[in-house]
Structure 1
Amino acid sequence: MDGKGKITVRCKDLCKTFYAKNRKQDEENEVIRNLNLEVRENEFLVLFGPGQCGKTTILNLMAGLVEPTSGEIEVNGKKVDGPSKDRGMVYQTTALFPWMSVMKNVSFGPRMQGVKKAEWKKRAQYYIDLVGLTGFEDSYPVKLSGGMQQRVGIARAYCNDPDVIFMDEPFGHLDAQTRYLMEEEIEKICSKEKRTVIFVTNNVEEAIYLADRIVVLTDMPTTVKKEYMIEIPRPRDYTSKQFLSLREEITQCVEISGTFEEAGHGDE
């Protein structure tokens, strides 16, 4: 990613405050403050920062699931004013329909758009094969492991043919070994299926392994603290000198412990 090319997502002076009532007075919770961000076509951008700093809120704002208090968000030059099929989401939990097979889950978007059966089956099969679930087309989520369920969620997001895919800590609930494997899988998928991806994580190693660019966020009220262009050649080695040096630098930037267990892939 060279910093050039079409801007797919633009956030300008983005602010979000949540309001709640208690018995005595209204309470304000300012989550996002004057956030400015541009994401380019086919860029893999990682939003990284302290836990509970508002990363998921930023994704929900970009996806049109939450309205900003002030500021603007544009996707492909159009103001975001609600959800759209040009934006896909992969959630922290798999959020699959338990009564639907893998094929039906993956093809849900095209089927709801009225795409003809032959076309949606062909498209869904392509993404099922891409995420390594060939042979599981008729299986139901309850029969799948956590990693396999998340593969279904990723295939479903891609099958709807969005311009932008948001991924909200999709591997955070997986065990360490499965998480490693899923990081490798998502890198392979993204190399074959170019999309603008905005990925949220609080795992520094995951961020460095996957990202073209990492945007480090402040604690709440959240804004951009620093950006890192990740120029380490792919596939990346978690133990390389360049990787470990960058891990230490980013960990210090967000003012959390630099230990392997707390900042990286240690005991999860």
Structure 2
Amino acid sequence: MDGKGKVTVRCKDLCKTFYAKNRKQDEVNEVIRNLNLEVKENEFLVLFGPGQCGKTTILNLLAGLVDATGGEIEVNGKKVDGPSCDRGMVYQTTALFPWMSVMKNVSFGPRMQGVKKEEWKKRAQYYIDLVGLTGFEDSYPVKLSGGMQQRVGIARAYCNNPDVIFMDEPFGHLDAQTRYLMEEEIEKICSKEKRTVVFVTNNVEEAIYLADRIVVLTEMPASVKKEYIIGLPRPRDYTSEAFLALREEITQCVEGNVAEEEVQG
């Protein structure tokens, strides 16, 4: 990214604290502290950092699924104060409706918005074809592999025609081979269907393979530690010298061995 594009998502001084009570005292869990972040139009941004540092909480805040304790979130200049069809979500688990076919799962959003049947079927079929599930329109999730189920989830998110899509470790539960295939697939989808994507992963290779930019987060409470603009040509080679060097650099950053500054990858 050149840094000059339209800003789709903006966070300013974002904070999130969870409060809980036990028998002895109130518990305070500060998850996010003064997070400032901008995501440009059609950018593929990856949030990366230590395990349990608050990455999923950030996505839930951006999607409007939970309320912030402090700060502001805007999508296309509008304050986020709850879920909206302009934001799509792909979860860690497939979260499909087991009683619905692939076609009905993918078309769920447009159908709930009252889109006419001819239109929602056409739109759903386009995305079913795009994710490589042609011929499985009438199949139910139980009959699909894990990778195929996640393809349905991705198609469902796109079918709602959102401005931004949030993906929360969507391939984390897949076996290694299927995961590599899905990474290649999501790159192809994103190159054809341009959207702003905010993607969470705990896998450094996955982050480098997919991202235009990687934001490394601090230990909880999460804030921005460092940013990497990934300038490697696509499709990316996991075994190239540049890829491996960047993997080592980012790994050291997460482990706390690199100072906070923005670099070009």
TM-score by length of 2: 0.96
State the distance in 2 between where 1:67 and 1:165 align.
19
Question: Which amino acid counterpart does residue 171 of structure 2 have in structure 1?
Answer: F
Task: Name the SS of the counterpart of 2:95 in structure 1.
Answer: coil
Distance (whole Å) between structure 2 residues aligned to residue 150 and residue 183 of structure 1 = 12
Task: Name the amino acid aligned to 1:246.
Answer: L
Cα distance in 2 for partners of 1:45, 1:109 equals 24
The root-mean-square deviation of aligned C-alpha atoms, in Å, is: 0.9
Q: Which amino acid aligns with 2:196?
A: T
CA separation in 2, counterparts of 1:236 and 1:214?
15
Return the offset for 1:24. Answer: 1.4
Give CA deviations for 1:105-157 in whole Å, capped at 9, x if unaligned.
Answer: 00000000000000000000000000000000000000000000000000000
Identity across matched positions, percent: 91
- 2-structure distance, mates of 1:158, 1:2: 25
Q: Report 1:127-146 matches (<5 A).
A: 127-146=127-146
Q: Which runs of 5+ in 2 are unaligned?
A: 258-265
2:69 and 2:244 map into 1 onto residues whose CA distance is 39
- The yes-or-no answer on 1:50 pairing with 2:53 is no
Q: Which amino acid aligns with 1:94?
A: T
Tell me which residue corresponds to 2:188.
188
Give 1:4 deviation, angstroms.
1.0
Q: Supply the AA of the counterpart residue of 2:207.
A: A
Aligned counterpart, 1:241: 241
Where do 1:19-168 residues align within 5 Å? 19-168=19-168
What TM-score do the two structures reach when normalised by structure 1? 0.95
Letter in 1 for 2:237: D
Which residue in the other structure is 1:215 paired with? 215
Between the two proteins, the alignment pairs up a number of residues equal to: 257
User: 2:144 is matched by which residue type in structure 1?
Assistant: L
Q: Could you tell me which runs of 5 or more consecutive residues in structure 1 were left unpaired when the two chains were aligned.
A: 258-268
- AA at the equivalent of 2:112: M
Runs of 4+ in 1 over 2 A off after TM superposition: none
Distance in 2 between the 1:41 and 1:144 partners?
Answer: 33
Paired with 2:28 and 2:21, the residues of 1 have a C-alpha distance of: 9
CA-CA distance at 1:256 after TM superposition: 7.9
